[in-house]
């Protein structure tokens, strides 16, 4: 599923949820109609959350890929310094790249457990 398709789905679900809220606001306190429309609002909310979860999962996968690429760059720099192809001060840059990779990886892990099922 492409980024454009996810964005379109998100916008569609947001508009649907907004229109259902407007209908709910216009209804009087008729118990049958209000309960039915309230259930529709909750369904639209759930649909939007499903799409947003897909977007979040996709972003988390991308962050993990970038973290592993940065880790690979760190290993390459360390190997090149070890064989003498690069000066030792390149290890400082490798350490900075490693720090960025670990920070990105930890941020992805902490964000993954922040969902509603994390407290259950």
pLDDT tens digit sequence for 22-34 = 877 777 666 677 7
For residue 101 the two structure tokens come to 């990779």
Q: Is the pLDDT of residue 108 over 90?
A: no
Mean pLDDT of 6-13: 83
Short-list 66, 76, 75, 77, CA closest to 100: 66
Short-list 2, 1, 50, 46, CA closest to 20: 46
User: pLDDT tens digits for 62-107?
Assistant: 999 999 999 999 999 999 999 999 899 999 999 999 999 999 999 8
Tell me the pLDDT band of 35, cut-offs 50, 70 and 90: confident
- pTM of the predicted model as reported, rounded to 2 decimal places: 0.66
* Residue whose entry in the numeric block shows the structure tokens 């309960």: 35
């Amino acid at each position: 599923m492409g980024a454009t398709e996810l964005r379109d789905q998100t916008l569609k679900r947001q508009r649907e949820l907004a229109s259902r809220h407007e209908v709910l606001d216009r209804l009087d306190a008729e118990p049958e109609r209000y309960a039915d429309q309230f259930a529709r609002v909750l369904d639209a909310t759930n649909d939007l959350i499903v799409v947003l979860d897909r977007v979040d999962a996709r972003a988390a996968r991308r962050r993990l890929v970038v973290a592993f690429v940065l880790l690979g760059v760190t290993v390459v720099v360390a190997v090149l310094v070890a064989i003498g192809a690069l000066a030792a001060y390149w290890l400082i840059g490798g350490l900075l790249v490693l720090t960025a990779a670990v920070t990105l990886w930890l941020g992805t892990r902490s964000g993954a457990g922040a969902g509603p099922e994390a407290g259950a």
